[in-house]
Amino acid sequence: MEEKINLLKQDLNKTFENFTNDKKEVKSLNELDLLESKYLGKKSLIAQTLKNINEFPHEVKPFVGKTVNEVRNKIENEIKNLRDELNLIEFDRKLREEKFDLTLPGRLLPLGSKNIINKVIEEIQEIFIGLGYEIAEGPEVETDYYNFEALNHPPDHPARSLHDTFFIDDKILLRTHTSPVQIRYMEKNKPPVYIIAPGKVYRKDYDVTHTPMFTQIEGLAVDNNINFGNLKWTLETLAHSFFGKDRKVRFRPHYFPFTEPSAEVDVSCNICGGKGCRVCSGTGWLEILGAGMVDPNLYKYVNYNPDEVTGFAFGMGIERMAMLKYGIDDLRLFFENDIRFLRQF
C-alpha cells in the first residue's frame, strides 16, 4: 500500500512539475483554459484520483485526499493568479488599442442652412403675426372649383387662360396661386378673418423671372368696415417692415377676377437703385404683389353676408420679395440648392 501511495506522490509531483513547465508557455486566456482543463479537468490525474479514492483502504483515504487536494489547491491558485495577470494584460491592450486623442479637434459636420425662401416666409409671417393675423394652409393639388370657380372665374372666363395651369384632369390641377386658401378658410370660419397663407404654386412658365414652381403668401382680411385705405396701410407696413423705410412702394390699377377694385403693388428695384436693369426689365420697379378688395360675389360661395362684411386680399411672390431684399438677380438660384448660395443668408 505504501508503495502505491509513494507512486501517487511521485505522480503528483511530476504532475505539478509538468504543470509548472506548461504554465510558462501560456500566453493567453484561451491557452490558460486549456491548461486548466488538462490539469484539473475530468480526465486529469487529480480528478481521476479523487473520483476513484475508494480504491484506497479506508484508513489511508484521508491522507490521499489531503495530498491530492494540496496539489489541486496549488494548481488552482496558480491558475487564478495567472488568470488575473492575463486579464490585466488584456485590459491594458484594449485600452491601448482603443485609446483616442482627446486633444484632436473634432471633425466638423457640414451644416446645411435654412433655405432663403423659408427664411423670407418666416420674416413675413412675423410681420403679420404682429398685426394679429393667423397662418392658414391649403393643398397644392387643388380642384378647379377652389382655384378658379369660387374665385369668380366661371367656366369660360378668359382670365383662366392667363394662368398657364398644370391640369391633372378636367377638375384637378396644381394650384396656380394661394388664393384658393381664401375660399377654403372662409368656408370653415366665420368672420372676422385675418389670415396669411404661405405655400407653393405652379405655372407653366420658365425664364429669368419665372419658374414652374414658386412660392406665394396670400393675405386675407374680412371684417366689418374694411376699406381700401386699410389695404394700403397694411401693404405699406409690410413693405417698410420687410424692405426698410427707404424702399418706395407704388400701387397700379389692375384686374383680378376675385377683387374689385384691384391693384398691383410694386417696390423700387434695389439691384439697380431704380435706374432700370435686367431684373426689373428697365423699369426701376418690381411687381411684388397683387391685391384688391374682396369681390362681394365671393361671399356667396362661403355663406358670408356681403351686406355685413367687406375685405381685402393680397398675394405676393416670395422669391421676388427675397430677390428685392437680398439683391439676388436670378430666380433659378433659389431652386438649385447650392449650399454656397444658401450659406450667405
Give residues in contact with ligand PHE (CB under 6 A): 177, 179, 218, 256, 259, 262, 290-292, 313-315
Burial annotation 92-125 (CB, 10 A radius, 16+ → b, else e): eeeeeeeeeeeeeeeeeeeeeeeebbebbbeebe
DSSP letter at 135 equals E
For 47, the grid coordinates are 480528478
In the bound complex, what is the minimum distance in angstroms from residue 289's beta carbon to ligand PHE? 7
CB of 340 to ligand PHE, least distance (A): 31
Residue 12: all three cell numbers together = 503528483
Nearest-approach distance from CB 178 to ligand PHE, in angstroms: 7
User: How far apart are the two ends of the chain, measured CA to CA in Å?
Assistant: 100
The span from the CA of 196 to the CA of 136, in Å, is 6
- Cell triple for 232: 394700403
Q: Helix (H, G, I), strand (E, B), or coil: what is residue 210?
A: strand
Place of cell 485600452: 95
Cell 427707404 -> residue: 246
Q: How far is the CB of 292 from ligand PHE (least distance, A)?
A: 5
Cell of 21: 513547465
CB-wise, 16 or 314, nearer to ligand PHE?
Answer: 314
Reading across the β-sheet that carries 310-317, which strands appear in turn? 134-135, 193-202, 213-223, 310-317, 285-294, 259-268, 249-256
Beta strands 134-135 and 193-202 are parallel
Closest to ligand PHE by CB, 242 vs 314, is: 314
In whole angstroms, the minimum distance from the beta carbon of 302 to ligand PHE comes to 15
Cβ 290 to ligand PHE, closest distance in Å? 3
Residue 344 Cβ vs ligand PHE, minimum distance, rounded to whole Å: 28
The letter for the amino acid at 149 is E
Name the residue whose CB lies closest to ligand PHE: 315
Ranges assigned E (strand) in the chain: 134-135, 141-143, 172-174, 193-202, 213-223, 249-256, 259-268, 285-294, 310-317
Closest distance of CB 341 from ligand PHE, Å = 26
**What angle do helix axes 2-25 and 61-98 make, rounded to 10 degrees?**
0
Tell me the C-alpha distance between 48 and 149, whole Å. Answer: 100
Nearer to ligand PHE, 35 or 201 (CB): 201
Q: Which residue number, 299 or 314, has a Cβ lying nearer to ligand PHE?
A: 314
Q: Quick one: DSSP state of residue 167?
A: B
The residue among 262 and 310 lying less far from ligand PHE, judged by its C-beta, is 262
DSSP bridge pairs for 193: 222
Nearer to ligand PHE, 91 or 206 (CB): 206
Rounded to a whole number of angstroms, the minimum distance from the CB of residue 240 to ligand PHE is 20
